[in-house]
Amino acid sequence: MRVLVTGSRGYLGRRVVEHLVAAGHEVVPFAGDVRTAEVPPCDGIVHLAALVRIRESFDNPLDYYDVNVNGTLRLLRAGAPRFVLASTTGVYGTPIGPVLTEDHPRVPTNPYAATKAAAEDAVRWSARAGTVLRLFNLAGGGDRDDTRLITRACGAASGRLPALEVYGDGTAVRDFVHVRDAARAFVLALETAEPGRCEAYNVGATPASVAEVIDTAERVTGRPVPVVRRPAHPGETRELRADTTKLRSLGWAPRESSLEEIVADQWASER
């Protein structure tokens, strides 16, 4: 299959390209601005490119709509038979209950998440065979984004960063998935897409608290993780876990997403 990949040079994109090639697909990295560049003929599109900073989206909501929504519309107009969109758990907003299924109402609470919900709708209504993957917390694989918990914990352990800021008592739980396991989900989603259907899938693997991440980082690295305590964010969701039953029914299962494996892999890159 000839597959166009936007965001192919990014953190997730590089791994998606690697796994598509390993599965025997011809990858066409998308070059240029998704709003204006030519879309070459292809059998499928994996759309990863987006503006993704939540705080920045409040300052520049129109830019986020322009890139994340209009860019998706332009790719959809190319008419590829299969279309896979990278989305976010942010579309769920502030969920009721700790475990999220794909049927949970979408109530985005920031412009970034709202643009992803709009992009999801466009895929659902117009793609010949569309798939939406709602990513939980990507980690491991040499992540360079110090806003992510595991990356920052390893950076603090190495001394590259001064400390890890912890908001609240450290009991908040989030769901982590190794970036390579997430990449495998994209390949599977592309290969199993069916004409006339659009499906959404959660992509998560390992729920863990902030305190558990710190303990694991100290155990794996053999070094202390300096911590600075901050007040908890008002209204923060205490626990977010991914129900991945639907994705697993396609044959997906995480291979590298235990907390120890993710931290060890990120630590190897940090060193």
Question: What confidence score (pLDDT) does residue 16 get?
Answer: 98
DSSP tag of 193: -
Same domain for 11 and 74, yes or no, is yes
Same domain for 134 and 218, yes or no, is no
Report the catalytic residues.
112
Of the candidates 146, 149, 168, the residue with the CA atom closest to the CA atom of residue 235: 168
Same domain for 154 and 79, yes or no, is no
The answer as to whether 47 is a domain residue is yes
Segments in the chain forming alpha helices (H): 11-22, 54-59, 61-64, 71-77, 111-126, 149-158, 179-192, 210-221, 245-248, 259-270
Same domain for 32 and 158, yes or no, is no
The answer as to whether 249 is a domain residue is no
Same domain for 25 and 158, yes or no, is no
User: By residue range, what is the domain housing residue 222?
Assistant: 149-172+207-240+255-270
Same domain for 129 and 233, yes or no, is no
The answer as to whether 7 is a domain residue is yes
The answer as to whether 144 is a domain residue is no
Amino acid at the residue 79: G
Distance (Å, rounded) from C-alpha 231 to C-alpha 245? 35
The answer as to whether 248 is a domain residue is no
The answer as to whether 245 is a domain residue is no
Count of domains forming the chain: 2
Question: What confidence score (pLDDT) does residue 157 get?
Answer: 98
Same domain for 216 and 91, yes or no, is no
One digit per residue, pLDDT tens: the chain, 271 residues?
999 999 999 999 999 999 999 999 999 999 999 999 999 999 999 999 999 999 999 999 999 999 999 999 999 999 999 999 999 999 999 887 889 999 999 999 999 999 999 999 999 999 999 999 999 999 999 999 999 999 999 999 999 999 999 999 999 999 999 999 999 999 999 999 999 999 999 999 999 999 999 999 999 999 999 999 999 877 778 899 999 999 999 999 999 999 999 999 999 999 8
Say which residues have a Cβ less than 8 Å from residue 43's Cβ, sequence separation at least 6. Answer: 1, 2, 3, 80, 81, 82
Question: What confidence score (pLDDT) does residue 33 get?
Answer: 96
The answer as to whether 21 is a domain residue is yes
Q: What is the CATH number of the domain that holds 154?
A: 3.90.25.10
Same domain for 62 and 189, yes or no, is yes
Question: What confidence score (pLDDT) does residue 271 get?
Answer: 86
Question: What confidence score (pLDDT) does residue 242 get?
Answer: 97
Distance (Å, rounded) from C-alpha 68 to C-alpha 207? 28
Same domain for 82 and 160, yes or no, is no
Question: What confidence score (pLDDT) does residue 97 get?
Answer: 81
Q: What is the CATH number of the domain that holds 200?
A: 3.40.50.720
The answer as to whether 247 is a domain residue is no
Please give the structure tokens belonging to residue 240.
């977010």
If 0-12 CB within 10 Å is exposed, 13-18 middle and 19+ buried, where does residue 235 land? exposed
pTM: 0.96
Same domain for 97 and 221, yes or no, is no
Same domain for 74 and 11, yes or no, is yes
Same domain for 190 and 167, yes or no, is no
Query: β-pairing, 82-88 with 130-135?
Result: parallel
